[in-house]
Chain A
Amino acid sequence: MRLFIEAVKGLGVTMKHFFLNMFYHILRFFHLSHKKGETVTTQYPEEKRETFTRVRLRHRLLSRDDGRLRCVACYMCATACPAQCIYIEAEEDPRNPLEKKPKQFIINLGRCAYCGFCVEACPEDALRMDVHVPEISEYKKEDLLYDIDKLTHW
């Protein structure tokens, strides 16, 4: 008997929210009220929620004015990375005065914790993170290994 009462009580809460939301939505539909507090589903692909400016999203590798990568393959990001998801291979850059450039620069976004330490660590300001583009998705796990090509073009 007690269980039954509790079930009815619970259903009561559900119903309360249902009708309250419906009431607000109807008011909103007829432009009678814009009271915030109703539950809203964002219709994602057509409609996008605004992201905060403090969020950290996918990485970008920046270039210098002459088109060369800013990155000098110093491994600071790879050293700072707590998830150890940055893999760099360095090579000699014959152009003066920078002697070093990355031959390969791969960030495994499947492993990345989006902590932003790599951006903090970069002495050349070569690595930054997106703010308002939350779409980071791939169909295959392997495609989450972002290389120089993917990180520089957008």
Chain B
Amino acid sequence: MSNRKRIKITIDGKEIETYEGTLIIKAAEDAGIYIPRLCYHEALKPDGNCRMCFVEIEGLRKPVPSCLTPAKEGMVIRTDTDALKKHRSSILEMILTTHPMDCPICDQAGECALQDYYFQYDLKESRWREKKEKKPKRVHWGKNLIYDAARCIICKRCVRFLDEITGTQELGVFERGIHSYIGLFDGNRIENDYSGNLVDICPVGAITDLDFRFKSRVWFLNRTPSICPFCARGCNIEIHTNTKNPFSSQRVYRIKPRKNLEVNKWWICDEGRYSYEFIDSDRIEYPMARGKKTSWDSVRQEILKIVGKDVRLYVSAWMSNEELTYWMQIAKTFDWKLSLVGKPRGKGDEILKLPDKNPNRKGAEILGIREEIGHEEVAVVFHFLPVSLERHKIKIGIFTNKFEGMDKFDIIIPAAVFAEKEGSWTNFQGKVQNFQKALEPIGEAKSEGEIGEFLANTLGLDLQWEIGKYREEFEKELRKWNG
């Protein structure tokens, strides 16, 4: 990057500085000027088939596609002349001659590029009096992908994604002209781990998600920025929730990626995208004693029994940095031992997935918590079962979801999952990333921080859970660790 020449160009009267050879559409976007596009995607090689992104350059007779034209020193570019608006309107009119107006049944409605551009640039009645082209609808491409050829505008983003990002090349364009459609090559199904991203990059509703199909309209969803907990990479995600559906107790409707060039770029894997059920189903909603529902008072009684005994805390690699720091503080005060539990290692790949399936193992490492086996009398276990639980006499569990062997625990305290609390995780690069609270905790569940405060207060320790304070303490540790 650095050896490329810095140049100055003018877009819509605004002078901007960029590198020579940067595509105009990219340079404009970096400067805050949005040029409409359907086929161009930052992550993919430009194709220039939709013709939406045309701009006028002074000195050139005709408009040029900004997604194929590199910037040169002194270019004067205009993006919003009347001629261009008319051009965009004509492009949209042409696309809409074959596009079925089935927005009422299309899941993309509300976040559809074609819909948005229509309202922005076209907004007139169709002059098309012929019949629309009939094309196959409801084609199943893979586990969670459903394709509607009629809605497809052949922007080829999906084809390019499978060529360039995953390299699996399942899709191609078949037939020509108005009859063309995207299809699977013989006998293929899209079964790679990044297929869900096709739904995100499709600018229209041609590729939709079977998992989200007809569950909710997109404008009913609340979007909360969060971090994916399923591996150590910590992909930036958005949790889409709706708690007002009277027919379903489902709260999380889908997971979408957020752009972060340093971590996950634009993508997330299918494991992270479709594994959100644990937030809503099989949750522990009340405190349990030996597999039976109990009250918080009896939890307090049970906790008082551990006074004066040797305790081992099995903190988990799914807890936030702040919670780990806070629990360390509690452990230090009572002179308890600490070890780490987490999910076992799984498979990784070259794109995003890492073998470490815990979001915050790095954070625990920074705080100096290691995986150890102990045989103290009391065990306080978070989220995951450690190897040698039988050696402990009193077992206190802090769990989010139901599991087999719950009745072996003297007390299980319901904990909030990551979507129900705020905090931060440290990913494998040592980047501390925040996640926000998307939902209220289910039932009587509490966040690990609040549980810590409850436990400390029960044992007569005045140590309050303040997320900001423990964030600062963690940052101190992080600075020490970084040297």
CA–CA, A41 and B105, complex, Å: 50
Given A74-B104, A76-B104, A124-B104, A89-B247 contact (CB < 8 Å) = yes
| B214 lies within 8 A of chain A by Cβ | yes
Write the nearest CB–CB distance from A25 to chain B, whole angstroms. Answer: 53
CA–CA, A79 and B219, complex, Å: 9
Number of interface residues of A (CB under 8 A): 20
The 0/1 profile, CB within 8 Å of A marked 1, for residues 68-91 of chain B is 000000000000000000000000
Q: Which of A73, A104, A123 lies in contact with B214, CB distance below 8 A?
A: A73
Counting chain B CB atoms within 10 Å of each CB, the highest count among A96, A98, A100, A124 belongs to A100
CA–CA, A18 and B220, complex, Å: 58
Contact indicator B217/A79 (Cβ below 8 Å): yes
| B143 lies within 8 A of chain A by Cβ | no
The 0/1 profile, CB within 8 Å of A marked 1, for residues 206-244 of chain B is 000000011101011000000000000000000000000
Closest Cβ neighbor of A106 among chain B residues:
B246
CA–CA, A90 and B248, complex, Å: 12
The interface residues of chain B lying within 8 Å CB-to-CB of A106 are: 246
Chain B residues 343 to 394 lying within 8 A of chain A, measured CB to CB, are none
| A143 lies within 8 A of chain B by Cβ | no
Write the nearest CB–CB distance from B263 to chain A, whole angstroms. Answer: 35
Contact indicator A123/B104 (Cβ below 8 Å): yes
Contact indicator A75/B217 (Cβ below 8 Å): yes
| A130 lies within 8 A of chain B by Cβ | no
The interface residues of chain B lying within 8 Å CB-to-CB of A149 are: none
Chain B residues 402 to 453 lying within 8 A of chain A, measured CB to CB, are none
| B265 lies within 8 A of chain A by Cβ | no
Chain A residues 87 to 111 lying within 8 A of chain B, measured CB to CB, are 87, 89-92, 96-100, 104, 106
Write the nearest CB–CB distance from B365 to chain A, whole angstroms. Answer: 47
Write the nearest CB–CB distance from A81 to chain B, whole angstroms. Answer: 12
Write the nearest CB–CB distance from A112 to chain B, whole angstroms. Answer: 15
CA–CA, A13 and B213, complex, Å: 69
| B293 lies within 8 A of chain A by Cβ | no
| A127 lies within 8 A of chain B by Cβ | no
Contact indicator B246/A87 (Cβ below 8 Å): yes
Write the nearest CB–CB distance from B260 to chain A, whole angstroms. Answer: 32
Closest Cβ neighbor of A74 among chain B residues:
B104
Chain B residues 79 to 133 lying within 8 A of chain A, measured CB to CB, are 103-105, 109
The interface residues of chain B lying within 8 Å CB-to-CB of A75 are: 217, 220
Chain A residues 2 to 18 lying within 8 A of chain B, measured CB to CB, are none
Closest Cβ neighbor of A108 among chain B residues:
B246
| A119 lies within 8 A of chain B by Cβ | no
Write the nearest CB–CB distance from A148 to chain B, whole angstroms. Answer: 13
The interface residues of chain B lying within 8 Å CB-to-CB of A118 are: none
CA–CA, A89 and B213, complex, Å: 12
The interface residues of chain B lying within 8 Å CB-to-CB of A98 are: 105
The interface residues of chain A lying within 8 Å CB-to-CB of B220 are: 75, 79
Chain A residues 45 to 83 lying within 8 A of chain B, measured CB to CB, are 72-76, 79
The interface residues of chain B lying within 8 Å CB-to-CB of A89 are: 247-248
The interface residues of chain A lying within 8 Å CB-to-CB of B109 are: 74
CA–CA, A87 and B244, complex, Å: 10
CA–CA, A75 and B219, complex, Å: 10
CA–CA, A5 and B421, complex, Å: 73
Contact indicator A74/B105 (Cβ below 8 Å): yes
Sample of 9 more A-B contacts, CB < 8 Å, known A74-B103, A74-B105, A96-B137: A74-B217, A89-B247, A90-B214, A92-B213, A92-B214, A97-B137, A99-B137, A100-B105, A123-B104
Show 16 A/B contacts (Cβ-Cβ < 8 Å), sorted by A.
A74-B103, A75-B217, A76-B104, A79-B217, A79-B219, A79-B220, A87-B246, A89-B247, A89-B248, A92-B214, A96-B137, A99-B105, A100-B214, A104-B247, A123-B103, A123-B104
Closest A-B pairs by Cβ, 3 of them:
A74-B104, A90-B214, A100-B105
